[in-house]
Structure 1
Amino acid sequence: MKILIKHIDTIIGGMLIKDRDVLVSQTIERVERGGSIIADADTKVINCENSSYILASGYIDIHTHGGKGHDCMEATEESLEAISRFHLLNGTTTYLPTTLTASLDAIQKVIDRVRVYREDNLYARIYGIHLEGPFLNPVGAGAQPIAYLVKPDAYNTSFIINAADVVKRITVAPDIDGIIELVKDLTAHGIQVSAGHDNSIHTEIEGCIAAGLNSVTHLFNCTSRAARREGIEKYLGLTETALVRDDLVAEIIADGIHVPYGLIALTYKNKGAAGICIVSDSLSVSGINTSPLYLGIE
C-alpha cells in the first residue's frame, strides 16, 4: 500500500524544507510541493497541514540500555521486543542494544538472544550489540559494577571475537594493561572500539588510536580530565583529547542534564557536526512514569 503524507515539513540534504507532499511505498517515490500530489483510491492519505510534525530519516542510536521498563541485560524476546518498539515509536529505526559490565555468562545470554531475535524483529532494527565493558577502569566506572571489571586476556578476547557477527562496538578504558593489543585484535575483526570509563592520559589514548580506536563514549561523563601523574606536568585526559583530535568522534548524551548545553556548544565548535554522535544512553525507565530505576538485571 502506498502512503501520501501531505503538507509535511521534511529534512532533505540537511535542510528543513517546508510544506511538501511525500509519496511512500517501499521507498520514497516522490517529493513535491505541498498539495501537488493527487492520491489514487488505493493510497492512504495522512494530512499534516497546520501540524508541527517533521518528516526525517530515522535515528540510529548506538548507545541504549533499554526502555519501556526493560533492560537489554534481561536477554529475553519480550524485553528486546518492548525496547525495539519503544525506540521505533520515538523515531529510532536502528539501534545497538548496550550491555552493562557483567559476567561473561550474562553477556553471552544477550549475544545469543540478539543473534536470534534480530532476524525476525518487526520494530526498530538491531544492527548489533554495543558492549560497555568489561574492560574499564574502576576509577571511572561510574554505574558499571566494579566486581565484573577485567583486564584483557586470551580467553575474554576470544570470547568477543567469536561473537563479532553480533558485537559491533565496545567501550574500553585506554589505560588498563593489555588494552592496545585488544584494540588491534577487535578492530581487525570489524568491531568498532570506543574509549570511556577511564582514568587515562593522552599518551595512552594516542596509543589506542594508533591501534584502531576512533571514538569516545558519552563525552563529559566518566571521561578522564587533564591531570598530573607524577611531578608538575599536566596531561590531557580523554575529555580534552576528544575535543582536539579530529580522528575521534565524540558520543554525547545531548539532553542538557548529562551534558550542559554550553558544553555541547563547545564540542560542536571544536568538532563540527561530523565529529559528534548524539546518543540516548536510555535506561529501562525511559518512556514510563512509574517504575523503579535500575540498570542491568534488577
Structure 2
Amino acid sequence: MSMTLSDLRVVTPNEVHDGWLTIEDGRITHIGRGPGPRNGNGHSLGGRVIVPGFVDIHTHGGAGGSYPDGDPESAAAVAAFHLGHGSTTSIASLVTASPEALARAASALADLCEQGVLAGIHFEGPYIAKSRCGAHDPAKLREPDRAEFRALLKAGRGHVRMLTIAPELPDALDLIRDAAAEGVIAAIGHCDAGYEQTIAGIDAGATVATHLYNAMPQLGHRAPGPIAALLEDERITVELINDGVHVHPAMLRLAAHQAGPGRTALITDAMGAAGMGDGRYRLGPMTVDVADGVARLAGGDPGGGSIAGSTLTMDMAFRRTVREMGASLVDAALMASLTPARVLGLDHRVGSISVGKDADLVLLGDDLQVDGVMKRGTWITEPQPPSP
C-alpha cells in the first residue's frame, strides 16, 4: 500500500526543504519538492517539520518501568513510552548487578529484541571504577572478567550491542578487544582513566564515550584526562545528555563543536521516572528520589545525592539542542538519529529520511513538540489534521 505525506518541511542529512514523501510497504520510496502528487492516500500535514525517528542508544526506563528489572511486560511498556516520544529505535541499558541478575535481564530483553521491540542490550557496568560509579551499586562492581562477559553474551543471544567499561581497570583492554571481536560496541565511561589510559582503550577498540563529562575526571590543562582524548579522537562518538542538569549548555556546545554532529549522539539515560511525577523510584538495586524532575540517589544509598539517570525523552533532547545549543534542524537530526544509528550499524535502515530506508518518522509542530510518530510506515501516534 502506498501513502504520500505532503506539505512538509523535510529534514534530510543535508538540508531542510518544502516537500513530500511517498511510503510503500513500510519504506520511503520517493522524496520530492513542492506540493507533491495528489492521490487517494495523500495526507497534507500543514507545513509541519518531519525528521527521522530518533535513535536512543542509552536508556534505562520510563513510564514507571525499568529495563534492569528484566520484566518483559514492564520493558515493553518502557519501549512503548519512548516510542511515543519519537524513539523509533532504542536499546535497553542495564546497570551493575550480580552476574545472575544481569544474565536473567539480558535473556528477558533478548525476547523483545527478537520481536523487534528493542534494537539491543547495553551493559553499563559492572566493570567500572568505584570512584566514578554514580548510581551504580559499588558493592557489585568488579574487575573485568572475560569468562563472565562471554556468559552474558550467551544470555543475550546475540543481542548485546554495547558494554561500558573503565579502561584503566585490570584486563580492561583485553575485554575491550574481546567485545570488539564479538561485534559489541565498547564504550569508555564511569572511569578514572587518564589521557594515556583512555587512548589505550581507544586503540584496543573502544568507539563510544558513555555520557561524556559525567562520571569521569574533568578537563584539566595539565592533566587533560579522558574528556580531551575522547573529544579529539575521530574514532569516538560521544554521548551527550542534554537535559539542563547533567551538562552546562556551554560544555555541550564545546563538545558538539569539537566532535561535530557526525560524532555526537544525543541520549536520554532515562530511568523509570521519565514521564512520571516526582517521587521515589528504583534503578536496579538503588533507590532514586525525583524532585523537580531531577533524579538523585536517595540519601540512604551509597553515593546518596548523586544524579541517577534522567527523566529526559529524545524529543525533549532534540528541542533543547535546537533552542539551548543553537543547532540547526539538520544538525540536531544528525545527533538524534543518524549518528547513533551509525554507532549501532543500522544507518542503512534508519536514522535519516532517505529513499529505501524504513519509514521511521517524527512529525513536529511549530514548537517542535511531537505531533505524530510513524514506525515502518504505520502511525503509532496519528497526527491531527492541520488547522484550517
- The normalised TM-score by structure 1 is 0.88
Count of matched residue pairs:
284
| Amino acid across the alignment from 1:4 | T
The higher relative CO (CA closer than 8 Å, separation ≥ 6) is in 2
Q: 1:189 aligns with which of 147, 162, 182?
A: 182
Deviation at 1:256, TM superposition (A): 2.8
Q: Distance in 2 between matches of 1:32 and 1:137?
A: 51
- The normalised TM-score by structure 2 is 0.69
Partner of 1:281: 269
Q: Distance in 2 between matches of 1:240 and 1:164?
A: 35
Partner of 2:209: 216
2:218 aligned with 1:225, yes or no?
A: yes
Partner of 2:28: 28
| Amino acid across the alignment from 2:57 | I
Deviation per CA, 1:229-264: give whole Å up to 9, x if none: xxxx94321122222222222111122321111111
How is 1:115-264 mapped onto 2 (pairs within 5 angstroms)?
Answer: 115-121=110-116, 125-162=117-154, 163=156, 165-226=158-219, 234-264=222-252
Deviation per CA, 1:146-191: give whole Å up to 9, x if none: 1110002343233234346121101001111111111111111111
Q: Distance in 2 between matches of 1:145 and 1:133?
A: 10
Q: Distance in 1 between matches of 2:234 and 2:146?
A: 32
| Amino acid across the alignment from 1:249 | T
Are the equivalent residues in 2 in contact too, given 1:164–1:190 (CA < 8 A)?
no
| Amino acid across the alignment from 1:277 | A
Q: Distance in 1 between matches of 2:257 and 2:5?
A: 36
CA RMSD of aligned residues (A): 2.0
Partner of 1:48: 45
Q: Against the structure 1 CA distance between its residues 158 and 119, is the aligned structure 2 distance closer, same or farther, given a 3 Å change threshold? A: closer
Are the equivalent residues in 2 in contact too, given 1:6–1:35 (CA < 8 A)?
yes
Q: Against the structure 1 CA distance between its residues 195 and 130, is the aligned structure 2 distance closer, same or farther, given a 3 Å change threshold? A: same
Q: Distance in 1 between matches of 2:31 and 2:55?
A: 23
Which structure: larger Rg? 1
Are the equivalent residues in 2 in contact too, given 1:66–1:286 (CA < 8 A)?
yes
Partner of 1:230: none
Deviation per CA, 1:55-107: give whole Å up to 9, x if none: 12111111000111100012122112111111211111111100011111111
Q: Distance in 2 between matches of 1:235 and 1:153?
A: 29
SS for the counterpart of 1:38 is: coil
SS for the counterpart of 2:283 is: coil
Q: Distance in 2 between matches of 1:288 and 1:10?
A: 32
Q: Distance in 2 between matches of 1:202 and 1:31?
A: 45
Q: Distance in 2 between matches of 1:235 and 1:63?
A: 28
Partner of 1:269: 257
Are the equivalent residues in 1 in contact too, given 2:10–2:20 (CA < 8 A)?
no
Deviation at 1:37, TM superposition (A): 1.5
Partner of 1:101: 96
Deviation at 1:47, TM superposition (A): 2.9
SS for the counterpart of 1:113 is: helix
Is 203-212 or 97-106 further displaced after alignment? 203-212
Partner of 1:91: 86
Q: Distance in 2 between matches of 1:186 and 1:164?
A: 14
Q: Against the structure 1 CA distance between its residues 248 and 78, is the aligned structure 2 distance closer, same or farther, given a 3 Å change threshold? A: same
Q: Distance in 1 between matches of 2:171 and 2:31?
A: 53
Partner of 1:14: 14
Sequence identity (%): 25
| Amino acid across the alignment from 2:69 | E
